[in-house]
Amino acid sequence: MPPPPPSWFPFRQANPQARLRLFCFPYAGGGASIYNTWSAALPPTVELVSVQPPGRERRILEKPVHDIARLVEALEPEMRPLLDKPFVLMGYSMGTRIALALTQRWQARGEPLPLGLVVAAGGAPHMQRMSRGNLNDKDFIELLRAYEGTPAELFAHKELMEMVLPTLRADFALADSVLPATPVRVPIVAYGGLEDSHVSIADLERWRELTTGEFRARHFAGKHFFLRTERVPLLEALREDLTRWAPELAS
């Protein structure tokens, strides 16, 4: 028998009682598993759908995608059957680009939009930035060290690092994507780390330019990966934002 098709949502647990679906997109090098424990901290009527791009975790043997338009085109048909309920998109770092690209695409076609966007640890993607795609392997690995998000044991194993470098490079290409400065008719809340040397508070604030709706910024202690060090306050904020956009979740 042919192998089953790759799953974009390998950890999804269908919730017939759900009033809202929360789609979560990972950071560069991350996979769907980073959101595995979040469901317990969210309202029981929220169905968490963590997204697994190619080239990582259960999709490690697949070729990663460098181009955000191609990624969105492949992902969108998989998401469509799950857009039959109100939904919110949440992206972390690289994932913020995916969330906005999908929303801009749907808005341009006059399709239903998310109730809100949660963008965390990502600078506003309509701002031009220096591409990191031309870095040699040595400099690229030093860049990974500076982010302090890659497990230390990975740097110690040359063969393992060589295996994951293509996915990491593809993810950084996605993270460096510059998207249109087209505002979306969706409220945006931007989460940032006060000690994040890669995304300043000023960079975070420029997400304000990408919505015609409400904009809020939330600041957390910690560096770029504050989703690990500030998990409890982050999830409390997320629960509050979801309930603000969908008050029925509180009942």
Pairing of strands 188-193, 87-92: unpaired
Question: Cα separation of 153 and 150, whole Å?
Answer: 9
Question: What are the residues whose beta carbons fall under 8 Å from the beta carbon of 4, sequence distance 6 or more?
Answer: none
Contact yes or no for 124/207 (Cβ under 8 A)? yes
Sequence letter at residue 185:
R
Among 233, 185, 246, 250, smallest CA distance to 211 is for 185
How far is it, in rounded angstroms, from Cα 91 to Cα 192? 12
Within 10 Å of residue 58's Cβ, how many Cβ atoms? 14
Q: Are 26 and 11 in contact (CB under 8 A)?
A: no
131 is catalytic: no
Structure tokens at 237: 């904020």
Residue with tokens 């860049």: 143
Which H/E stretch holds residue 163?
A: helix 158-175
* Residues 185, 246: Cα–Cα separation, whole Å: 16
Catalytic residue (one of 7, 93, 177, 197) = 93
Q: What's the Cα-to-Cα distance from 135 to each of 35, 129, 138, 224, rounded to whole Å?
A: 30, 15, 8, 21
**Residues acting as catalytic residues:** 93
